[in-house]
Amino acid sequence: MQFSALSLAYNALTGHRHWKPTWRDAAPKDAYDIVIIGGGHGLAASYYLAKEFGFRNIAVLDKGWIGGGNIGRNTTIVRSNYLLPGNIPFYELSMKLWEKLEDDLNYNTMVSQRGVLNLFHSDAQRDAYARRGNAMRLEGVDAQLLHREEVRAMAPFLNFDNGRFPIQGGLLQKRGGTVRHDAVAWGYARAASDLGVDVVQNCEVTGFRIDNGKVEGVETSRGFIRAGKVAVAVAGNSSRVMSLAGMRLPIETHVLQAFVSEGLKPAIPGVITFGAGHFYISQSDKGGLVFGGDIDGYNSYAQRGNLPVIEDVCEGGMAVMPMLGRARLLRGWGGLMDMSMDGSPIIDRTPIDGLYLNAGWCYGGFKATPASGFCFAHLLATGTPHPTAEAYRLDRFETGHLIDEKGVGAQPNLH
């Protein structure tokens, strides 16, 4: 059923008896043209495969419930304020797709462009942000460099002279903001399912059938599924899943925590990041302050983090927003980050015929969801990379065409 204010009113009057399941809880068929593993970016990929490229015989498999991976565990920040030419056009494509996503999916994913503000505290940081802002402008992306007083007008509650690292100004991307993460998963699942895609939950891939260097299908907890092509988009589980196909990836898995406070009346307008510590924050429509910081720093597949990082994040928070002292942290959680060697993702074919990889999103892959799905679909359907994702090659670590935004090198826990 089409969603709108009207259909809502009609259903309200008729006791909500007519709503259908948001997506079909499909049972896996024996064979598909394309099997996508992972119900995050994979859902978006399936949707674009169906909508843009006319595929119908596709399945998305997830080992758990839809949205249970990072797509439903992140701090919901979307932006395209990247520095390097390999990244900017891709994330800007994503931003453009976000901007029309609700229309596209007929689902309110609450794309909220309230702005992303990165604070700077030194001349060197200012110059680095200027370099980035100019790079964005060259690509036609909106960016503004704000003086301290302009920042104050936007966010008077910040501690400008915080006793340690005074705020000098900020880089603002007004079109950045937040998106309701669960709704993205559900909206894509619904739209894909409506186009005939089988969204299969509780179906874990346990192996690949590979014959003569060509993938034949996947072994799953619900039996063997034959596939013309297999596309892997399992984020923090990438190394584990690809090892089932005998591949080692330039990826390490780390834990990133995020936190939410109790519900509060509106206090923080958009997304704000602290430049002299690792801390970022926004406020959800429900009123919770959503915030996070660094990854925990050690390799782990446990979806939980530890106290030192919580303390570090809260210290950063108190440094810029000492008003947070009496707000209470309500919940914290951890997600598995597929940290790549240069901090940028991979969307590419693999040496195994018919096996495709989408991975290495580190902790910035939520904002990429639409473009990642779109470009992955393009690659799967046409066999060639989408022009905005050409740099995301698997062999770039061998050739040295790295996309290292932070310049920290091949140390995944620093990206």
Ligand X SMILES: Cc1cc2nc3c(=O)[nH]c(=O)nc-3n(C[C@H](O)[C@H](O)[C@H](O)COP(=O)(O)OP(=O)(O)OC[C@H]3O[C@@H](n4cnc5c(N)ncnc54)[C@H](O)[C@@H]3O)c2cc1C
Binding site for ligand X (CB under 6 A): 37-41, 61-64, 68-71, 73-77, 204-205, 233-235, 237, 241, 256-258, 292, 335, 361, 363-367
Q: For other proteins, which residue of 32, 55, 107, 376 counts as binding (CB under 8 A)?
A: 107
Q: Which is nearer to ligand X, 162 or 306 (CB)?
A: 306
Q: Which does 303 bind (CB under 5 to 8 A by kind): ligand X, other proteins, none?
A: other proteins
Least spacing, CB of residue 228 vs other proteins, in Å: 28
Least spacing, CB of residue 284 vs other proteins, in Å: 8
Least spacing, CB of residue 230 vs other proteins, in Å: 25
Q: Which does 102 bind (CB under 5 to 8 A by kind): other proteins, ligand X, none?
A: other proteins
Q: Which does 10 bind (CB under 5 to 8 A by kind): ligand X, other proteins, none?
A: none
Q: For other proteins, which residue of 127, 246, 299, 353 counts as binding (CB under 8 A)?
A: 127
Pick the closest to residue 143 from 166, 115, 163 (CA basis).
115
Pick the closest to residue 43 from 61, 22, 28 (CA basis).
61
Least spacing, CB of residue 253 vs ligand X, in Å: 11
Residue partners of 389: CB distance under 8 A and separation at least 6? 90, 347, 371, 375, 378, 379
* Integer Cα distance of 197 and 106 in angstroms: 17
| Binding of residue 153 to other proteins (CB under 8 A) | no
| Binding of residue 409 to other proteins (CB under 8 A) | yes
Q: How would you classify the pairing of strands 223-232 and 214-220?
A: antiparallel
* Integer Cα distance of 169 and 181 in angstroms: 29
Residue partners of 21: CB distance under 8 A and separation at least 6? none
Least spacing, CB of residue 281 vs other proteins, in Å: 10
* Integer Cα distance of 231 and 215 in angstroms: 10
| Binding of residue 413 to other proteins (CB under 8 A) | no
Quick check: helix, strand or coil at residue 350? coil
* Integer Cα distance of 21 and 330 in angstroms: 31
The residue range among 43-51, 82-90, 223-231, 361-369 that interacts with other proteins, by the rule CB under 8 A, is: 82-90
| Binding of residue 306 to other proteins (CB under 8 A) | yes
| Binding of residue 204 to other proteins (CB under 8 A) | no
DSSP 181: H
* Cβ atoms < 10 Å from Cβ of 276: 18
* Integer Cα distance of 271 and 156 in angstroms: 14
Which helix (H) or strand (E) is 224 found in, with range?
strand 223-232
Least spacing, CB of residue 168 vs ligand X, in Å: 24
Number of residues that bind other proteins (CB under 8 A): 120
Q: Which is nearer to other proteins, 31 or 410 (CB)?
A: 410
- Quote the tokens at residue 310: 């919580």
Residues in 337-376 that interact with other proteins by CB under 8 A: 341
Q: Could you tell me the CA-to-CA distances from 261 to 70, 326, 334 in Å, in that order?
A: 19, 10, 15
Q: For other proteins, which residue of 297, 319, 381, 390 counts as binding (CB under 8 A)?
A: 319
Q: For other proteins, which residue of 79, 126, 254, 415 counts as binding (CB under 8 A)?
A: 126
* Integer Cα distance of 303 and 248 in angstroms: 22
| Binding of residue 272 to other proteins (CB under 8 A) | no
Q: Which does 122 bind (CB under 5 to 8 A by kind): other proteins, ligand X, none?
A: other proteins
* Integer Cα distance of 314 and 175 in angstroms: 27
At 46, the amino acid letter reads: S
Least spacing, CB of residue 225 vs ligand X, in Å: 11
Least spacing, CB of residue 290 vs ligand X, in Å: 8
Q: Are 170 and 178 in contact (CB under 8 A)?
A: no
| Binding of residue 39 to other proteins (CB under 8 A) | no
